[in-house]
């Protein structure tokens, strides 16, 4: 599967504790297995307190890419939380950006305490769609719970990502890495979450 863009720029974003760093590492490993040159870098907010976490994954078939993606040049955004997805899209989305994200909010402490306001979800989603050439909302957290463990939401979202026309990896490419990273009951749970994420993407379709 040839890269549509070289380098291909993928941003993985979410809240500390959602497993987005692991998701980025799995993507990078799968691309390395394909013989590509990969750079993966993270930036952290107050991740232990539910702060922002973002990973840049840059992939090339020709040369070693630099770590950081320039503003406006993300080709794919994988978002684990809608407000974080929008924040990243505002900076990194360009004309050809495809976004796949979990629309389930994770409310900051200030919102839970009533001192801050979380934006209306429909407004967040509308702007994500407006900033993307195509956007796909996948309930990864709900899928993970159905598969058996809420921690598998990152794997469910990777499953959905693998069904994007813009994805540089097949489901089989990513499942190979899952088998290297996990074993036993944990592997089977992640395989279920991955398969369910793929199925959700097939049923949901992309919204332009």
Confidence at residue 4, expressed as pLDDT on a 0 to 100 scale: 87
pLDDT per position as a tens digit, 60-83: 998 998 889 999 999 999 999 999
- List the 134-137 sheet strands across, edge first: 37-44, 52-60, 8-15, 74-79, 93-101, 134-137
Confidence at residue 47, expressed as pLDDT on a 0 to 100 scale: 44
Contacts of 159 (CB under 8 A, 6+ apart): 171, 174, 193, 194, 195, 196, 197, 198, 199, 200, 201
Q: Which residue has 């794919």 as its token pair?
A: 76
Residue of 128, 133, 160, 132 lying closest to 144 (CA atoms): 160
In the CATH hierarchy, which top-level class contains the domain 8-204?
A: alpha beta
pLDDT per position as a tens digit, 87-98: 999 999 999 999
Q: What percent of the chain clears pLDDT 70, i.e. is strictly above it?
A: 94
At residue 2 the predicted structure's pLDDT band, cuts being 50, 70 and 90, is confident
At residue 146 the predicted structure's pLDDT band, cuts being 50, 70 and 90, is very high
Average pLDDT in the chain = 91
Is pLDDT at 45 greater than 60 in this prediction? Answer: no
The reported pTM is: 0.92
Confidence at residue 176, expressed as pLDDT on a 0 to 100 scale: 95
């Amino acid at each position: 599967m040839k890269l549509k863009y070289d380098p291909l720029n993928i941003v993985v974003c979410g809240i500390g504790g959602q497993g987005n760093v692991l998701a980025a590492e799995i993507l990078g490993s799968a691309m390395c297995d394909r013989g590509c040159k990969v750079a993966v870098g993270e930036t952290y907010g107050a991740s232990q307190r539910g702060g922002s976490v973002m990973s840049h994954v840059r992939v090339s078939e020709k040369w070693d890419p630099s770590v950081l993606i320039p503003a406006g040049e993300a080709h794919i955004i994988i978002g684990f939380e809608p407000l974080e997805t929008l924040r990243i899209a505002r900076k990194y989305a360009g004309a050809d950006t495809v976004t796949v994200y979990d629309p389930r909010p994770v409310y900051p402490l200030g919102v839970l305490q009533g001192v801050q306001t979380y934006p209306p979800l429909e407004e967040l989603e509308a702007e994500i769609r407006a900033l993307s050439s195509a956007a796909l909302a996948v309930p990864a957290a709900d899928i993970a719970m159905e598969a058996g463990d809420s921690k598998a939401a990152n794997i469910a979202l990777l499953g959905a990502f693998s069904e994007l026309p813009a994805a540089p990896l097949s489901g089989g490419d990513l499942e190979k890495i899952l088998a290297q990273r996990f074993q036993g009951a944990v592997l089977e749970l992640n395989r279920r979450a991955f398969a369910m994420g793929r199925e959700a993407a097939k049923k949901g379709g992309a919204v332009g």
